């Protein structure tokens, strides 16, 4: 027998019975983001590897372990693991810094990370995200968080938790990094291998470690004292206070979490995540923050920016299942030519119409209609000869006979 080829590990088909939920995610994104005056941008799925090495940061797990990279005509290409770097590349390349600020962009699409597949973690997954360029003021951070919360609310997701932190600026963070390294020095040999590697290059990332033995070390009082200390400079603190006061005013509940450092290198000041308790261990649906240095680091003009990305599979698993939609009408007839003609007419008026292409017995057709449609549209010999249609309401069993041109108004009520 011919061998069956299966879907790749960590990837999934989105099947017809699931696709309505995806449509909902996408439709609400377009609706809500448009209200906030964001415009959609669609960038390529692969980019130069260097873009991610520089844009995401070469001390991150994404760049070190998770990228799908290949050579083609002597070029190193990578399937995008996230889309901020791609959007920033496009922003620079298309001279969007010249547009009047803020420039507000959103995207959706597949991302690729070579991770260990598990619940809530795939190798091809989808993100929807927003990026706002050109505003350094804290109102931008607050509006971007408000947008995330509004979008989640539109999907019926209210019981989510916003976590927030400030990473300060590169200057004030330097001091904090030094202190963290100092207090962790005696524990160096007890840290996991990843943490030992990050210790020099990116000590803040240690706080994000998910390994139990590391978490125990970070829980020690003398280490907690450093982690919990207020290290950010007055300017950064002022920005952070303003963001929080706007969120208070908007009645957006949040918790401050000093361990929230986010996986990517490019964040400064505000970082945030939105979590659900209904997701098990991969419980973050949204991650984002401010990245004021990225545009410049990638060769553009100095442009502040803030944004977030949400995992669409994780969002999907929180949505209630959507019942398959019924057809408006199922034409019951033994004259395919007349059924085709009526179907064409009614579809043209916007109705969702099916009929029996295999021309089965009347009773079989009625049976099928009662399962999949709201109305049976009976087109027997009498009806055909008199230019009428008998309409049976399949939830009340009431039947009326009307002129063909009145079918749509009868159904729509």
Among 115, 161, 341, 345, binds ligand ATP (CB under 6 A): 115
**Does position 104 bind ligand ATP by CB under 6 A?**
no
Q: Cα separation of 45 and 125, whole Å?
A: 12
What is the smallest separation between the CB atom of 260 and ligand ATP, expressed in angstroms?
10
**Does position 173 bind ligand ATP by CB under 6 A?**
no
Q: Cα separation of 113 and 80, whole Å?
A: 8
C-beta closer to ligand ATP: residue 113 or 239: 113
Among 55, 86, 134, 287, binds ligand ATP (CB under 6 A): 287
Among 132, 160, 305, 309, binds ligand ATP (CB under 6 A): 309
Report the greatest alpha carbon distance in the chain: 94
Interface stretch with ligand ATP, choices 98-106, 226-234, 284-292, 293-301 (CB under 6 A): 284-292
**Does position 270 bind ligand ATP by CB under 6 A?**
no
Among 79, 147, 162, 285, binds ligand ATP (CB under 6 A): 285
Q: Phi/psi at 371 (nearest 5 deg)?
A: -85, -35
**Does position 263 bind ligand ATP by CB under 6 A?**
yes
**Does position 127 bind ligand ATP by CB under 6 A?**
yes
**Does position 286 bind ligand ATP by CB under 6 A?**
yes
Q: Which of residues 45-84 bind ligand ATP (CB under 6 A)?
A: 82
**Does position 314 bind ligand ATP by CB under 6 A?**
yes
Site string for ligand ATP, 83-102 (x = CB under 6 A): --------------------
Minimal CB distance residue for ligand ATP: 311
Among 55, 138, 304, 311, binds ligand ATP (CB under 6 A): 311
What does R_g of the chain's alpha carbons equal in angstroms?
Answer: 28
What is the smallest separation between the CB atom of 229 and ligand ATP, expressed in angstroms?
24
Among 24, 121, 177, 352, binds ligand ATP (CB under 6 A): 121
- Which residues partner with 289 through β-bridges? 271, 307
Q: Report how far apart, in Å, the C-alpha atoms of 301 and of each of 88, 221, 268 are.
A: 11, 43, 17
C-beta closer to ligand ATP: residue 153 or 412: 153
Among 80, 113, 392, 404, binds ligand ATP (CB under 6 A): 113
What is the smallest separation between the CB atom of 105 and ligand ATP, expressed in angstroms?
16
**Does position 167 bind ligand ATP by CB under 6 A?**
no
Q: Phi/psi at 234 (nearest 5 deg)?
A: -60, -40
What is the smallest separation between the CB atom of 130 and ligand ATP, expressed in angstroms?
12
Interface stretch with ligand ATP, choices 137-145, 285-293, 340-348, 371-379 (CB under 6 A): 285-293
What is the smallest separation between the CB atom of 320 and ligand ATP, expressed in angstroms?
19
C-beta closer to ligand ATP: residue 314 or 388: 314
Cis? peptide before 102, omega within 30° of 0 = yes
Interface stretch with ligand ATP, choices 43-51, 70-78, 119-127, 169-177 (CB under 6 A): 119-127
Among 48, 92, 192, 284, binds ligand ATP (CB under 6 A): 284
What is the smallest separation between the CB atom of 295 and ligand ATP, expressed in angstroms?
19
- For ligand ATP (CB under 6 A), the number of binding residues is 19
- The three-state DSSP-derived secondary structure of the chain is CCCCCCCCCCCCCCCHHHHHHHHHHHHHHHHHHHHCCCEECCCCCEEEHHHHHHHCCCCCHHHHHCCEEEEECCEEEEECCCCHHHHHHHHHHCCHHHCCCCEEEEEEEEEECCCCCECCECCEEEEEEEEEECCCCHHHHHHHHHHHHHHHHHCCCCCCEEEEEECCCHHHHHHHHHHHHHHHHHHHHHCCHHHHHHHHHCHHHHHHCCCHHHHHHHCCHHHHHHHCCCCCCHHHHHHHHHHHHHHHHCCCCEEECCCCCCCCCCCEEEEEEEECCCCCCCCEEEEEEECCCHHHHCCCCCCCEEEEEEEHHHHHHHCCCCCCCCEEEEEEECCHHHHHHHHHHHHHCCCCEEECCCCCCHHHHHHHHHHHEEEEEEECHHHHHHCEEEEEECCCCCEEEEEHHHHHHHHHC
Which residues of this protein are in contact with ligand ATP, per CB under 6 A? 82, 113, 115, 120-122, 125, 127, 263, 282, 284-287, 309-311, 313-314
């Amino acid at each position: 027998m011919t061998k069956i080829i299966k879907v790749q590990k960590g990837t999934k088909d989105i099947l017809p019975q699931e696709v309505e939920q995806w449509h909902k995610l996408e439709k609400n994104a377009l609706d809500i983001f448009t209200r906030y005056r964001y415009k959609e941008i669609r960038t390529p799925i692969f980019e130069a590897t260097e873009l991610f090495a520089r844009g995401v940061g070469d001390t991150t797990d994404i760049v070190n372990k998770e990228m799908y990279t290949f050579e083609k005509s002597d070029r190193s290409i990578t399937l995008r693991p996230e889309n901020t770097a791609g959007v920033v590349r496009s922003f620079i390349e298309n001279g969007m810094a010249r547009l009047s600020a803020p420039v507000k962009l959103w995207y959706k699409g597949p991302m690729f990370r070579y991770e260990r597949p598990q619940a809530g973690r795939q190798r091809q997954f989808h993100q929807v995200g927003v990026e706002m360029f050109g505003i350094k003021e804290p109102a931008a951070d607050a509006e971007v968080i408000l947008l995330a919360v509004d979008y989640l609310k539109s999907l019926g997701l209210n019981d989510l938790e916003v976590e927030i932190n400030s990473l300060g600026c590169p200057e004030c963070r330097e001091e904090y990094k030094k202190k963290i390294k100092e207090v962790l020095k005696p524990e160096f040999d007890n840290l996991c291998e990843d943490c030992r590697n990050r210790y020099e290059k990116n000590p803040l990332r240690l706080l994000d470690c998910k390994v139990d033995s590391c978490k125990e070390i970070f829980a020690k009082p003398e280490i907690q004292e450093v982690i919990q200390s207020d290290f950010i400079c007055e300017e950064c603190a002022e920005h952070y206070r303003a963001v929080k006061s706007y969120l208070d005013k908007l009645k957006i509940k949040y918790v401050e979490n000093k361990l929230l450092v986010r996986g990517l290198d490019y964040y400064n000041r505000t970082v945030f995540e939105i979590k659900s308790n209904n997701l098990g261990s991969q419980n973050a649906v949204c991650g984002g923050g401010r990245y004021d240095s990225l545009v410049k680091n990638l060769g553009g003009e100095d442009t502040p920016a803030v944004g977030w990305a949400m995992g669409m599979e994780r969002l999907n698993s929180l949505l209630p299942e959507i019942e398959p939609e019924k057809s408006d009408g199922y034409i019951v007839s033994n004259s395919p030519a007349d059924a085709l003609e009526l179907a064409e007419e009614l579809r043209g008026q916007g109705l969702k119409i099916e009929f029996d292409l295999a021309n089965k017995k009347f009773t079989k057709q009625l049976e099928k209609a009662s399962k999949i449609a709201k109305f049976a549209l009976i087109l027997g010999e009498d009806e055909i000869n008199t230019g009428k249609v008998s309409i049976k309401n399949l939830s009340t069993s009431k039947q009326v006979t009307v002129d063909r041109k009145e079918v749509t108004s009868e159904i729509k009520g």
